[in-house]
Chain A
Amino acid sequence: MNLWLIPFFPLLGFLLNGLFGKRLPRAAINAIGVGSVALSFVYVVFVLSKLYPLHPAYSEHYFTWIQSGFLHIGFDLFVDRLTAVMLLVVTGIGLLIHIYAVGYMAHEGGYYRFFSYFNLFVFFMLILVLASNLLVMFVGWEGVGLCSYLLIGFYFLEGFAGNAANKAFIVNRIGDFGFSLGIFLTVLVFKTLDFGKLATAVSGMPVEASAGALTAITLLLFVGAIGKSAQFPLYVWLPDAMAGPTPVSALIHAATMVTAGVYMVTRVSFLYNHAPLAMSIVAFIGLFTAVLAATIGITQNDIKRVFAYSTVSQLGYMFLGLGVGAYSAGIFHLMTHAFFKALLFLGAGSVIHGLSGEQDLRHMGGLWKRMPVTFITLGVASLAISGFPGFSGFFSKDAILSAAYAHTPWMFWVGSITAGMTAFYVFRAYFLAFFGSYRGHHHAHESPPVMTIPLIVLAAFSLLGGLINVPHWLSPAFPLAEHENVTAMAISVTCGILGIALAAYLYVIRPALAESLKTSAGSLYTLVANKYYVDELYSGLIVRPLETISRSVLWRGVDEALIDNSFVDGLFGRTIRNWGALLRHLQSGSVRNYATWVLAGALLMIFIFSFSGGGR
């Protein structure tokens, strides 16, 4: 079936735009950038329709990558039902966002650079998704991290973008370190990295009652997921990542890359199933992140940051779903979230584009008249993320919360309240932007069709995406658990609607009340608005001490005192320097002297060779 063609098209697009983009006209860059992803999408649809039932999985072996002792790692790609969902999400939503970016980036410099990075990202994401062993997946994993870095720092002339890119990269290194340790431990325990062989090997092992090798592997892999999917405590990079262009935030930091952790955990779910302790930790961290990010989201004033925290929060939901064993619900939410969160970001981008770069909610308002398409589509997305009945988010969030209820009831209650908070802050941003009176001073205008059409398509998916029954499609791999719970559904929906109503009351009907509430909450508000001072905490606990130690001990002490003074300037260094000064005369610049040395060397070699019996 030539699965390699799927990632090949974006790679080709990257090479063409990256190497020749500077000399190409914009139309050609657009055609290459968008066309490569479109080809990839069409080919994915073709492949999936050919392989239709996709049960069992279909795999292709290309070449042996590493052959070392017992370890045999091939460069293999494979497709099963889980991969199929991810492939469609990555190429489908990727295509829409590429089209949107044509409009959004129209006035930006470095146009070809943007599209070549974008295509490179899609390439690595597809490698990650198609990988049939952990190491190939790690290649894609690191590759998307690199592209994320390049794209966050796209406006590299502005200091904050460079800093945000560095932050994302460094924080991800911590996660990736855990991930690579997990891979090493997997090799040590199982002697293979292939998903199929791992599943077979694990099925013969007992479920670990207490912590053991499997728990260690799964937790280390989860550290990787924490980094990539922005979970507590490594979520701090994601809000700052909004320094990149908005299509980047939509594609990488909302719809696809950040879900890589969710995908990875689901891919090795057979390991997690045998490590209940690790699963509890996954669920707990997911839930905690969901609550934490939701509270921060309430207080943010930058429209993209609100949505960034909501991404962190929704990813927490997905991990909650995985942690309670509802893998298919987690993937379901991953897909619907990709629809409505991409839409939220693209809508926000449309607002920002229309206001010539204004991102502060306090300088918006009353935009519904001037941007009707953005207004309606963003409304659909907000309803979807709030879990309003009938919208896509309703189905997936309900699946997760029902599973949580069946597993641990208190997690369900916390999750429902978080759903209420989610609805509140998303609609807060929505009302602040589109209702009331206009508080800014730019001339607002609706975006061109190349931007609004992807919005409309995504809105359709946000509305109807819940009807795609992902849990049923995944049921061969992840059996459906029958815990449809009408009461739980009703409670979470009520929480969502209450959140919307509260936001409407505070920001549309009685706008003054919100301000007075803010002042009366006082120090609590300051704490949350400053993101619980987590960044400052990390800076004080980790970054500053490291800097101090590097400066005082490693630089002044080790480098200057020890290495410079006692080695470089000491007896050792001086001896070497004197010998060097002596030997320097060998390099006289005279060709004839060099030739004499060559002759002497050749003579010596012939001598040794012939008298050591080498000639016979």
Chain B
Amino acid sequence: MPQIPAVPLSWYLLLSAVLFALGVAGFLYRKSIITVFISIELMLNAVNLSFVAFSYHLHRIDGHIFSFFVMVVAAAEAAVGFAIILTIFKNRRTLQIDEIDSMKL
């Protein structure tokens, strides 16, 4: 069996950057509030991957704690976020993000 070279750490970081960029793209180009919300979760996951990768590199588990907290905050954010989405839907009967633009001069 031929020896396959091991994966360098920076590949993980690149993967993280790519996922993050895709999350941002979703945020910018998608028009449904729910998909925008999904894109935010994607970005949070991408950052988590960076935390865990750095944690491996430094051989410290502080990074794991951070990503744990990110997950907790993401859960809290999902709860409040969906409550807001529900309220918006109840009041305005729409989920299109571009329709919700009354906060302007």
Per the CB under 8 Å rule, do A and B touch in the complex?
yes
**Residues of chain A whose beta carbon lies under 8 Å from any beta carbon of chain B:** 584, 587-592, 595-596, 599
In the bound complex, residues from chain A placing their C-beta under 8 Å from that of B98 are: 590, 592
In the bound complex, residues from chain B placing their C-beta under 8 Å from that of A589 are: 100-104
Q: Which of A584, A592, A596, A599 contacts B97 (CB 8 A)?
A: A592
In the bound complex, residues from chain B placing their C-beta under 8 Å from that of A590 are: 97-98, 101
Give Cα distance in the complex from A516 to B93, angstroms. Answer: 89
Give Cα distance in the complex from A583 to B75, angstroms. Answer: 37
Residue of B nearest to A602 (CB): B24
In the bound complex, residues from chain B placing their C-beta under 8 Å from that of A584 are: 105
* Residue contact A591 to B105, C-beta cutoff 8 Å: no
* Residue contact A599 to B24, C-beta cutoff 8 Å: yes
In the bound complex, residues from chain A placing their C-beta under 8 Å from that of B28 are: 592, 595-596, 599
Q: Does B27 contact A (CB under 8 A)?
A: yes
Q: Among A584, A591, A595, find the residue whose CB has the most chain B CB atoms closer than 10 A.
A: A591
Q: How far is the CB of B26 from chain A (nearest CB, A)?
A: 11
Give Cα distance in the complex from A584 to B105, angstroms. Answer: 7
> How many residues of chain B are within 8 Å of chain A by beta carbon?
12
Known: A595-B27, A595-B28. A587 touches B97 (CB 8 A): no
Residue of A nearest to B98 (CB): A590
Q: How far is the CB of A47 from chain B (nearest CB, A)?
A: 50
Q: Which of B27, B102, B103, B104 contacts A592 (CB 8 A)?
A: B27
Known: A596-B28, A599-B24, A599-B28. A591 touches B97 (CB 8 A): yes
In the bound complex, residues from chain B placing their C-beta under 8 Å from that of A595 are: 24, 27-28
Q: How far is the CB of A598 from chain B (nearest CB, A)?
A: 9
* Residue contact B100 to A587, C-beta cutoff 8 Å: no
19 contacts between A and B (CB under 8 A): A584-B105, A587-B104, A587-B105, A588-B101, A588-B104, A589-B100, A589-B101, A589-B102, A589-B104, A590-B97, A591-B101, A592-B27, A592-B28, A592-B97, A595-B24, A595-B27, A595-B28, A596-B28, A599-B28
Residue of A nearest to B100 (CB): A591
Give Cα distance in the complex from A588 to B104, angstroms. Answer: 6
Q: How far is the CB of B21 from chain A (nearest CB, A)?
A: 10
Residue of B nearest to A590 (CB): B101
In the bound complex, residues from chain A placing their C-beta under 8 Å from that of B36 are: 591
Q: How far is the CB of B70 from chain A (nearest CB, A)?
A: 18
In the bound complex, residues from chain B placing their C-beta under 8 Å from that of A596 are: 28
In the bound complex, residues from chain A placing their C-beta under 8 Å from that of B102 are: 589
Give Cα distance in the complex from A599 to B98, angstroms. Answer: 18
In the bound complex, residues from chain A placing their C-beta under 8 Å from that of B104 are: 587-589
Give the 4 A-B CB pairs with smallest separation, nearest first: A589-B101, A589-B104, A587-B104, A589-B103
In the bound complex, residues from chain A placing their C-beta under 8 Å from that of B105 are: 584, 587
Contact indicator per residue, chain B 72-105, by CB within 8 Å of chain A (1) or not (0): 0000000000000000000000000110111111
Besides A587-B105, A599-B24, 20 more A-B contacts (Cβ < 8 Å) are: A584-B105, A587-B104, A588-B104, A589-B100, A589-B101, A589-B102, A589-B103, A590-B97, A590-B98, A590-B101, A591-B97, A591-B100, A592-B27, A592-B97, A592-B98, A595-B24, A595-B27, A595-B28, A596-B28, A599-B28
Q: How far is the CB of B67 from chain A (nearest CB, A)?
A: 20
Q: How far is the CB of B93 from chain A (nearest CB, A)?
A: 18
Q: How far is the CB of B42 from chain A (nearest CB, A)?
A: 14
Residue of A nearest to B33 (CB): A591
In the bound complex, residues from chain A placing their C-beta under 8 Å from that of B27 are: 592, 595
Q: How far is the CB of A530 from chain B (nearest CB, A)?
A: 59
Give Cα distance in the complex from A584 to B97, angstroms. Answer: 21
In the bound complex, residues from chain B placing their C-beta under 8 Å from that of A588 are: 101, 104
Give Cα distance in the complex from A589 to B104, angstroms. Answer: 5
Residue of B nearest to A596 (CB): B28
In the bound complex, residues from chain B placing their C-beta under 8 Å from that of A587 are: 104-105
In the bound complex, residues from chain A placing their C-beta under 8 Å from that of B103 are: 589
Q: How far is the CB of A609 from chain B (nearest CB, A)?
A: 16
Contact indicator per residue, chain B 21-34, by CB within 8 Å of chain A (1) or not (0): 00010011000000
Q: Among A584, A588, A592, A595, find the residue whose CB has the most chain B CB atoms closer than 10 A.
A: A592
In the bound complex, residues from chain B placing their C-beta under 8 Å from that of A599 are: 24, 28
In the bound complex, residues from chain B placing their C-beta under 8 Å from that of A592 are: 27-28, 97-98
Give Cα distance in the complex from A588 to B28, angstroms. Answer: 15
Q: How far is the CB of A587 from chain B (nearest CB, A)?
A: 5
Q: How far is the CB of B30 from chain A (nearest CB, A)?
A: 9
Q: How far is the CB of A591 from chain B (nearest CB, A)?
A: 6
Contact indicator per residue, chain B 43-78, by CB within 8 Å of chain A (1) or not (0): 000000000000000000000000000000000000
Give Cα distance in the complex from A589 to B103, angstroms. Answer: 5
Give Cα distance in the complex from A591 to B28, angstroms. Answer: 9
Give Cα distance in the complex from A587 to B98, angstroms. Answer: 13
Q: How far is the CB of B88 from chain A (nearest CB, A)?
A: 12
Give Cα distance in the complex from A592 to B104, angstroms. Answer: 14
Give Cα distance in the complex from A608 to B98, angstroms. Answer: 32
